Each structure stands twice: as structure tokens, then as C-alpha cells.
Amino acid sequence: MSDRRIPEFKYHPDPIGTGEFKILAEPEMCDCCEKLTNITYDGPFYSEEEISCLCPECIKNGNAAKMFDGEFHDSESIDEGVEDEEKLDELIHRTPGYSGIQQEYWRAHCGDFCAFVGHVGSKELNEMKIIEEVLDGENLIDDIEEIIRTRLEKESWYQGYLFKCLHCGKYRLHWDYD
């Protein structure tokens, strides 16, 4: 049975903190390795099979994606600029995804995928003093920029998803609305 330690995920460093793994009161059996776990994945997994429990280890080693012919992220919903197929494979087959309002989108920078930091709103971006950084270079129309500056919320119709470049540390934002 696993405890609260989980493997390190390069592109999603805190999946418990972001809510994509949940800690169970009673252990459940992982659908992949059939071992008991008290931490299970609660994010998106695209597979024809219905999966109820995946442990962190089966995600990290790629066994869950392989066994169920699944993906944790849509390979078409990513920023361009990452040429390395191994990085794409790690993102879609061995990295916990995140839950969004509509289609999740993974940001990239410096030729690599960014690390998912978590859900954010205008308040959090302003508190972190990074709102100008995430708006810089996005070529947003004025209405959208105003939404990001003032109406984005962690849990509302306008949600923000914060990423951080693994190489230069720049923050990148994806946002979505219902």
C-alpha cells in the first residue's frame, strides 16, 4: 500500500496540491497494478475503458497509459515548439493531467512543456505580482485582457490555469470559460 509520498512528475510537480490526486480514507485497488493505494488519480484520463482507480506509480511508469491505451492529456491541445517526442510522450502518457472547464491545454516555453502550477484567478495573479508577465506577448484583445485582470477566478465561469517554464522560470497562463 502506498503512503502520501508520490513519484516526482516533471510537468505536474504538486498533483496532490492541485487536487488531481485525492487521498483516500480507505485504500482502493489500482485498476492497473492491482495493488492497494490510498492515493488515487482524480483527473482526466482518455481511454475507452472506464477506470475508477489509478495509483501514482502506474501513471509515472507509463503502465496505466499502456495497459488501457489511454492518455492523460490530449496531444493536440498543447503549445507548439516542443520538438522532442520523448517530452510529448512523458506529458501525455506519464504525467497527471489537470481538470479544466472545457478542453485542457498545456503550455510550453523554451522548447519544453511547462510545469502545471495550479488553478488561479485574477486575485492570485495579482498577489503573486505576475499578471503583467502572463499577459505579456499573448496578443489578447482588450476584452479578454480585462477579464484576466479583473474577473478570472479559481472556481467560476472564467478560470485560469497557471504554468511555469522549467528553464527560464517565466509564468504562462491558459484560461477558459463556460
Query: Measured between alpha carbons, how far is 130 from 65 in angstroms, rounded to an integer?
Result: 35
Per the listing, cell 505536474 goes with 12
Q: In this structure, which amino acid lies at residue 68? A: F
CA dihedral (77, 177, 137, 113) positive or negative: negative
Nearest alpha carbon to residue 91 among 67, 112, 69: 112
Q: Spell out the domain ranges in the chain.
A: 1-99, 103-177
Query: Measured between alpha carbons, how far is 44 from 54 in angstroms, rounded to an integer?
Result: 11
Residues 48-61: what's their mean pLDDT?
96
pLDDT one-digit tens code per residue, 111-131: 999 999 999 999 999 999 999
Q: What residues have CB less than 8 Å from 34, skipping those under 6 apart?
A: none
pLDDT one-digit tens code per residue, 128-153: 999 999 888 676 666 788 888 887 87
For residues 174 and 144, is the Cβ–Cβ distance under 8 A? no
Q: Taking the model in full, what pTM does it have?
A: 0.92
Enter the C-alpha cell of residue 157.
465561469
- What pLDDT shows up at residue 154? 81
Query: Measured between alpha carbons, how far is 144 from 75 in angstroms, rounded to an integer?
Result: 26
Residues 70-81: what's their mean pLDDT?
94
Please report which confidence band the pLDDT of residue 21 belongs to, taking 50, 70 and 90 as the band edges. very high
- What pLDDT shows up at residue 1? 39
- Rounded to 5, what percent of the chain is helix, strand, coil? 20, 25, 55
| pLDDT above 50 for 3 | no
* DSSP string for residues in 93-128: HHS-----SSS--B-EETTEEPEEEEEE-HHHHHHT
